[in-house]
Amino acid sequence: MLGQVEITPFHWAGFIVVVLLFLSLDLGVFHRRAHVVRFQEAFTWTVVWFGLALVFAFAFVKPNMGEKKTLLFITGYITELSLSMDNVFVIALIFAYFRIPTEHQHRVLFWGILGALIMRGLMILAGVSLIERFEWLLYLFGAFLIYSSLKMMFAEEEGVHPEKNPVIRLAQKVYPVANTFDGQKFIARVDGRRALTPLAIVLLMVETTDVIFAVDSIPAIFGLTTDPFIVFTSNVFAILGLRSLYFVLAGAIGYFRYLKVGLSIVLAFIGVKMLLDPHLKEQEHGVREARWFQIEIDPNVSLAVVASIILTSMIFSLIVARRGHPAARKAEDDSEPDSP
């Protein structure tokens, strides 16, 4: 087995450059012209991004960082991707509320996800820095995840309320807002003045929504590993696949009624895991610092538990929807996006 390689700034820079290259090809070549993204195209891209994540795991992480870090990356990726599915449903509600034309939705998602990559990167760096200084924060994160899981399971959906969004209110004070779309533009000229288009308001909604979801998802992956490179890369791959995943799932929201229950159980599991095994830092000689109690959960077990919960909730949702359960039909009707 090859020795583990120390992750250097060169590795970070190389990964970021490759991601930016993929994003440039996406917007500049594959989606240069606005068009409606069909299910087949979206499903193909979803498979491509999922495949690239696995290639990265087994072609880079495993030979350079070891099998344990590979399992942690895959578990983190699946966790973040699953939590992103809940984000997908909220984005669908936002697009339906503002009646965004289908052919413009990909552009909003592209720039929204680019902003999400930057914001999550900053949040991860801040989180790693704080944990390095105050290790007890992991216990706080664990308790917060358990609280978030209960809130996710029992709280009712609040809907879309742009008037309550402080970022949008601030933007409307700085810039006037046009009443109509101007193609794919985020800024247009109205009566000789620059004005935000409705597409820009939706972009701000998507960005702020991701920040809210990141408050749950970032602590969740810290519950699996505190390695900043694993945390960042697994987040990036999950976010990159969010656009295509949206177009795959947006028309089938009602069929995943119990996914939120599964996600809440996953958050609770990771929260409990953090309280029992808070990833205490290793000393230079490789021996963990002693504590009066500690239960370490093997990465194989974590991966199996997370994958099983998500898969079970999705299968159960599909079975209920297929049988035409009234509750499932109601969920589908309530979440069906309006035609633009």
Counting residues of the chain whose pLDDT is more than 70, the rounded percentage is: 82
Q: CA 28 to CA 24: how far, in whole Å?
A: 6
Tell me the pLDDT tens digit for each residue of 313-338: 888 888 887 776 554 455 445 544 44
Query: DSSP labels for 46-83?
Result: HHHHHHHHHHHIIIIIHHHH-HHHHHHHHHHHHHHHHH
Distance separating the N- and C-terminal Cα atoms of the chain: 55
Nearest by Cα to 225 from 302, 152, 293, 285: 302
| Burial class of residue 28 in the structure, from the number of CB atoms within 10 Å of its CB (0-12 exposed, 13-18 middle, 19+ buried) | exposed
Whether 203 and 104 have beta carbons less than 8 Å apart is answered as no
Tell me the pLDDT tens digit for each residue of 114-143: 888 888 888 888 888 888 888 788 888 889
Tell me the pLDDT tens digit for each residue of 77-96: 998 888 877 777 788 888 88
Tell me the backbone φ, ψ of residue 291, rounded to 5 degrees.
Answer: -135, 160
Q: CA 49 to CA 256: how far, in whole Å?
A: 22
Whether 321 and 82 have beta carbons less than 8 Å apart is answered as no
**DSSP letter (8 states) at residue 336:** P
Which residues sit opposite 177 in a β-bridge? 196
Mean pLDDT of the chain: 80
* Counts of helices then strands in the chain (DSSP H, E): 13, 2
Q: What is the pLDDT of residue 280?
A: 45
Higher pLDDT, 216 or 65: 65
Tell me the backbone φ, ψ of residue 73, rounded to 5 degrees.
Answer: -65, -50
Amino acid in the structure at residue 211: V
Taking the whole predicted model, whether its pTM rises above 0.85 is answered as: no
